[in-house]
Amino acid sequence: MGESKAGPAPGGLDALAAEGVAPWLGGLRRSLVTSGRLPELLTGAGLRGASFGPEGLAADAAEDDGCREQLSLLARRPAAPDTAVLALSAYDLRSACDVLRPVFDAGHGSDGCVSMDVDAALAHDADGTVAAAEELHRAARRSNALVKIPATGRGLTAVRACLGRGIGVHVTEIFSARRYGQALDACLDGLEDARAAGHDLAALPVCTSLAAGRIEAGIDARLTALGTPDALALRGTAALAVARLAYRLYEERLGTACWRRLAAAGARPPRPLWEAAGGDAGRELRHAETLVAWGTGVVLSPAALAAAAAGARPEGDTLTCRHREAAALVEEVERLGVSFEDTAAELAGDRLERLTDAWRVLRRVVGEQLRVGRR
């Protein structure tokens, strides 16, 4: 018998899936759903989740024929801009959830979710966020629909309240390991409230997104500004370090009596998602390959998802039991005068400002289309 030879290591999104990493598409647009491209990504690329954003909704309101037709019908009622935004959001969320429903069912709710924002102007208003989340949840009427809530202090209060009401959440805009731990606590407290209220925990998906790409970009900018050889040598390390620290907190929470009680009641772990956005497609691909552990996910832009599908080569589990070296790296960076917490606060403020501006643009574009439809 001839000597057998091992074939090349698998690449692409199948390789990520083999490591337990679920690929998500960030910046989902209606055109991907209506054109049939989203189903192709599910079957061909192995997509496991998706997320809309206000920037894409605004672009669709101005450019997509289906959106303009929907807004024209709403204009004849007539509908206010906020009502029209909700109608567009709910339609897109339902449509994408229906496409991903087979993935959701096959994975018993661990995959196949789609998330949608509520107005970022409510990020520091817990009651307003909960009310907006309830409105979107009722309008979407899909068990694999998640409401995106930024991890501000009041946002985490809203996360707990939404879960307690049986509303699935996607906690976003997390820029530090410390805030990630607080987000996990809010999720577990909310699941406890949901259990006490009699909700089916098996039907209540939860995701938490660490903004790994933006964290690294922010830290790298400060290291570059320092300009010393020691500082420059540490660029490109922040995303992995913070993800390792966050993953350690995730593991610790899953080892508590609280989690064992929730798991016995049917709850699934809040899925850690690493947001790779914040750089070009090449940097996002690097994050997809290096932020690897079982039961996690990575959110990629369309360009980065295509690059990952073409040849991602994950490095194996890079997160489990690696928190000590991550803490040492963070300490080394901070000795140079770059504070991770200060950077996180600045990044969070800047991101919320950008999201709030995007929502203003969305309402303005929708208002303009409604006026056109009334002529």
5 given a catalytic annotation: no
- The owner of tokens 């189903």 is 39
Alpha-carbon torsion 130, 146, 350, 182, what sign?
Answer: positive
Tokens read off for 231 = 């500082």
Tokens read off for 186 = 């809010």
Q: Quote the CA–CA distance of 365 and 359 in Å, as a whole number.
A: 10
Q: Quote the CA–CA distance of 270 and 254 in Å, as a whole number.
A: 10
Secondary structure (3-state) at 85: helix
Tokens read off for 56 = 């894409």
Q: Select which of 148, 248, 286, 363 is catalytic.
A: 148
Identify whether 102 is preceded by a cis peptide bond (ω within 30 of 0). no
- Closest by CA position to 148, among listed 138, 139, 136: 136
Q: Quote the CA–CA distance of 175 and 345 in Å, as a whole number.
A: 8
Q: Quote the CA–CA distance of 211 and 305 in Å, as a whole number.
A: 17
- Give the residue numbers annotated as catalytic, written as ranges: 148
